[in-house]
């Protein structure tokens, strides 16, 4: 990452402007131009330095469901199950843990019933149970990583 990439990441962690030309607004904040900002964001995504760039929706407030899920997957089957889980559009992100429950992922669906359907589909395709852990209470912890 060069200086402009770092400035973009640090600036975008604070939010994306809601205006007629948001990329131009970001460009003004980092001392660049709109086309360069768009190209740099595309490059950061392509290089895997950003895993995602887009809005975060509060699924439950929109009538949907959001929860953390875990699975106990043997190491020899982890890659196969990862492909199954990551293929689901309802999975926001998936990560490995050094724990008995070795795979953890976030499910966000349009309806609570769709969440149950997704869990059932993952269980059916993988052959392993999904431990669904819907949130009981929400806490907001704002984490910004200065790069």
Q: For domain 3-46, is the CATH number 2.60.120?
A: no
Mean pLDDT of the chain: 91
97 backbone dihedrals φ, ψ, rounded to 5°: -130, 145
Q: What was the pLDDT predicted at 137?
A: 81
Q: Where are the domains of the chain?
A: 3-46, 60-134
Q: pLDDT category, 138, cuts 50, 70, 90?
A: confident
Q: In 48-65, which positions are buried (b, 16+ CB within 10 angstroms) versus exposed (e)?
A: eebeeeeeeeebeeeebb
* Mean pLDDT comparison of 42-46, 47-51, 58-62, highest-scoring range: 42-46
Q: What was the pLDDT predicted at 64?
A: 82
Fold of 60-134: Alpha-Beta Plaits (3.30.70)
């Amino acid at each position: 990452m060069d200086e402009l990439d770092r400035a973009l990441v640090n600036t975008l962690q604070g939010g994306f402007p809601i205006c007629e030309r948001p990329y131009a607004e970001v460009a003004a904040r980092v001392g660049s131009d709109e086309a360069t900002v768009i190209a740099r964001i595309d490059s950061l995504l392509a290089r895997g330095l950003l895993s995602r760039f887009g809005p975060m929706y509060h699924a439950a407030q929109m009538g949907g469901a959001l929860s953390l899920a875990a699975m106990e997957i043997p190491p020899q089957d982890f890659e196969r199950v990862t492909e199954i889980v990551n293929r689901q559009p309802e999975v926001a992100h998936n990560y490995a843990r050094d724990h008995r429950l070795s795979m953890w992922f976030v499910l966000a669906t349009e309806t609570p019933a769709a969440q149950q359907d997704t869990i059932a589909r993952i269980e059916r395709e993988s052959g392993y149970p999904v431990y669904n852990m819907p949130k009981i209470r929400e806490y907001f912890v704002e984490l910004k990583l200065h790069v």
